[in-house]
Amino acid sequence: MKRGISGRAASRGLNPDGDNVDIFKKCYEFEEARVIMDRGVYPFFRTIRSGQDPVVRMNGHEIIMLGSNNYLGLTSHPEIKEAGAEALRRYGSGTTGSRFLNGTLDIHEELEESLARMMNREAALTFSTGYQVNLGVLSCLVGRQDTLILDNLDHACIIDGARLSFGKSLKYQHNDMESLEERLRSLPEDRGGMIVVDGVFSMEGDLARLPDIVELKKRYGVRLMVDDAHGVGVMGAKGRGTPEHFGVEDEVDLVMGTFSKSLAAVGGFVAGSRDIIHYIKHKARSLIFSAAPPPASVGSVLKAIEIIEREPERREKLWENTRYMMQEFGRLGFDTGVAETPVIPLLVGDNWAAFEFTKKLQEKGVFVNPVVAPAVPPDRAMIRTSLMATHTREHLDRALEAIEAVGLEMGVIGA
C-alpha cells in the first residue's frame, strides 16, 4: 500500500498517492521477483540450516551442496572453528572501530604478514569484505587523469569501484585480446592506466588470459590488478592463484582475494608492493571508514592459511573432483561452455528454464545456483555448479544422477 504524502511533501509536487517524483515509486512497482515467486520457482535467499558442507540441511531434508564457494571444504574444519573460537574468547566479538583508529589488533597484523608471505608479496592489507577491497583500492588509486581497462565480465565490485573513482573506465570484450589492445591503444601516453581483471570468472568458470594480458600490459606501459577471489587457494602449485598458475606473478602489480571462499571466513585482502599497500592503507575509504574484520574471522583465516600450506592434497582432491565432473557432464551431453575450473556451468536455455531446473534439482536433493539474464544473454541462462575438495565420489554420483534426470525431463540433454 502506498503511503500518503502531505504537508511539506505536497509542496514538492508529490500527489497523495506518492507518484511522480516519489523516490519509493520504483519499490511499489517492482514485480520481477514476485512473478517468479508466484510461479513457485523463486531460487534466491533459500534457508540452509547447517554448515556449508558437501551435504546441507534444508526444509528437513539432506541436500547435496553443489552451489557453495567452500572450495577446499574448510568452513567446518575443527581446527579452524577452534581458532575462531579462541580469537573470540581472547578479543571479544568485534573491534568497535576501523583499522585506521582503534580497530587494529595484533592478529590483524599477524594475518597481513601471513598473507604477504603466502602470496609471495611484500605486503598485504585486510578489509572487512572482499567487495570493500575493490571499492577502496580502485577509488583511491584511480584519479581524474587515469583510466581503468576492464573485462566486460568483471565482477560487480570491480565495476562499482571504477564508478567510485574519478577516472575513466573502458571495457573490452571478454578475454578478447584484440579488443583489449584496441582499448590500450586509445590511452593518452601522458596518463596512467590499469587493467583490472578477474583471475577466475565466477559464473563462466574460465580463466583470464593472463600471459597475453601481461604482454599487452608491458607493451603499453600500464599496471595490472587481478581479482583472484575464486583463484586463491584453488589455482597454482602453492594456491597463490591464477598469477602463480600462469607463472606471471612478477608482472601482476596487485592481487586481491577474499576470505569467504577457500579461506573459510569473511573479509578480504589486497597484496602487492610495500609502497602501494602503504598508500592504500591511508587512502582507501572503505577501509578507513569501516569497522575492522572481527577477531573470529581473522583467527579462522590464520588457521586456514596454515592448513592450506600443510595439506596440498586438499587442492589435489578438488581438481580430481573437477576433472571427474567435467568428464561426466560431457558424457551426459551438457554444454559447459568455456569452464576450466571447479566452477562448472550447465547451459539450459532461458531464465525460466534455469529457475525450473534449479527447483527440480532441489526436489531431487541437489542445491545449485541459477545464472540468468541480464548477467548472461537471454538464451544462455545456466546452472552454476561448484565443487569442494570434501565431496566424495558418492556425493558426486548422486548429484549426477539427479542432474541427468532433470536434464532429460526438460530436454536440455538427449536420451
Q: Judge whether 71 and 279 are in contact, CB under 8 Å.
A: no
> Who contacts 276 (Cβ-Cβ below 8 Å, separation ≥6)?
253, 254
Q: Cβ–Cβ contacts within 10 Å for residue 174, how many?
A: 17
Task: Look up 217 and say whether it is catalytic.
Answer: no
Picking from 139, 226, 221, 149, the residue whose alpha carbon sits closest to that of residue 180 is: 149
If you count them, how many residues does the chain have? 415
Three-class SS of 337-357:
CCCCCCEEEEEEECHHHHHHH
Cell 538464451, located at residue: 379
Q: Judge whether 67 and 384 are in contact, CB under 8 Å.
A: yes
Task: Look up 128 and say whether it is catalytic.
Answer: no
d(CA 303, CA 317): 20
Measured over the CA atoms of residue 80, residue 84, residue 86 and residue 87, the dihedral's sign is positive
Q: Which of 81, 155, 217, 230 is catalytic?
A: 230
Q: Which of 114, 128, 202, 290 is catalytic?
A: 202
Q: Which of 155, 245, 261, 281 is catalytic?
A: 261
Task: Look up 230 and say whether it is catalytic.
Answer: yes
Q: Are strands 254-258 and 223-227 parallel, antiparallel or unpaired?
A: parallel
Burial classification of residue 27, based on how many CB atoms lie within 10 Å of its CB (0-12 exposed, 13-18 middle, 19 or more buried): exposed
Which are the catalytic amino acids? 202, 230, 261
